[in-house]
Amino acid sequence: MKDTETMIEVIELHKRFKDLHVLKGISTKVKQSEVVAIMGPSGSGKSTFIRCLNRLEEPSSGQIYIEGIDILAPYIDVNLVRTEIGMVFQSFNLFPHLTSIENIKLAPMSVRKISAKEATERAMALLEKVGLADKADAYPEQLSGGQQQRVAIARALAMQPQIMFFDEPTSALDPEMIGEVLDVMRTMAKEGMTMMVVSHEMGFIKEAADRILFLVDGLIVEDGTPDYIFNHSQHKRTIEFLGKIV
């Protein structure tokens, strides 16, 4: 059963909100260092899907294995699972009462219990990496959207996760700021991070993604390389959707 290559395995995942059946049995595997883009029309369950994978939403039924471990088992500490999975949100969700560097240091210090000095060093290195070393002491409200999102990525990376989830990371950004965020994500992909990205940034997906999952109404209707999905798809819904967003 244990497969070192497989980072995430999902089997027959269902999610219901009261009467609304959002996910109707999703099964897939994500290998180490793989970059998986999740596309689909709105309301198809893309966000719900990745939010189930770190249990921000409790799945209604199904199985989820992260690094071969069943994370829905009753003895699992969900907070430990989440330390392994970084998450970046559409609306950034930086903590407004903390500066950039404090945002980044908070979780490593209070969850991983590393020293303040080490946390500061790690945070500065990450800020350097996302190109915001000079904004260490700025509060989120003093940063542009693109800068906030880059700090949010640094904050997630500070926990040294094995996996990164991106939930529409560029949807709330002005067009001229999308590039700077995608650049950071591209670098992460090159460095071998396992990533699941809900996004419709075609350029980024073509270049960086290994696979696309195409979701419609809570089901994966297509699963293939960007080249296959964009150029050779035979599926009616996929063609229709791509026709609309290009």
Size of the site for other proteins (CB under 8 A): 26
- 89 touches other proteins (CB under 8 A): yes
Tell me which stretch binds other proteins (CB under 8 A): 18-26, 63-71, 102-110, 119-127.
102-110
CA–CA separation, 103 and 83 (whole Å): 15
83 part of the interface to other proteins, by CB under 8 A: yes
- Residue 91 engages other proteins in binding (rule: CB under 8 A): yes
Q: What is the DSSP letter of 171?
A: T
- Enumerate helices (H) and strands (E) in the chain, giving the number of each: 9, 10
37 to 56: interface string for other proteins, x by CB under 8 A: -----------------x-x
Residue 1 token pair? 């059963």
| Pick 106 or 136: Cβ nearer other proteins | 106
Q: Which residues, listed in sequence order, are joined to residue 6 by a DSSP beta bridge?
A: 31
Stretch that binds other proteins, among 61-69, 73-81, 179-187, 219-227 (CB under 8 A): 73-81
Q: Tell me the C-alpha distance between 137 and 29, whole Å.
A: 40
144 binds other proteins (CB under 8 A): no
Asked if residues 190 and 210 have their Cβ atoms less than 8 Å apart, the reply is: no
Backbone angles phi, psi at 192, to 5 degrees: 95, 20
Nearest to other proteins of 83, 225 (CB atom): 83
Our finding on whether 159 is near other proteins (CB under 8 A) is yes
How far apart, in Å, do the first and last CA atoms of the chain sit? 41
Select from 72, 106, 124, 125 the one that contacts other proteins (CB under 8 A): 106
**Cβ atoms of 127 and 101 closer than 8 Å:** yes
Q: Which is nearer to other proteins, 27 or 83 (CB)?
A: 83
The length of the chain in residues reads: 246
Q: Is 87 in the site for other proteins (CB under 8 A)?
A: yes
> In the beta sheet, which residues pair with residue 214?
39, 222
Residues 210 and 188: their CA atoms lie apart, in Å, by 14
DSSP state of 231: I
- Which of 97, 113, 117, 244 is close enough to bind other proteins by CB under 8 A? 97
Please report how close the Cβ of residue 89 comes to other proteins at its closest, in angstroms.
6
| Chain positions contacting other proteins, by CB under 8 A | 54, 56, 79-83, 85-87, 89, 91, 93-97, 106-107, 110-111, 141, 152, 155-156, 159
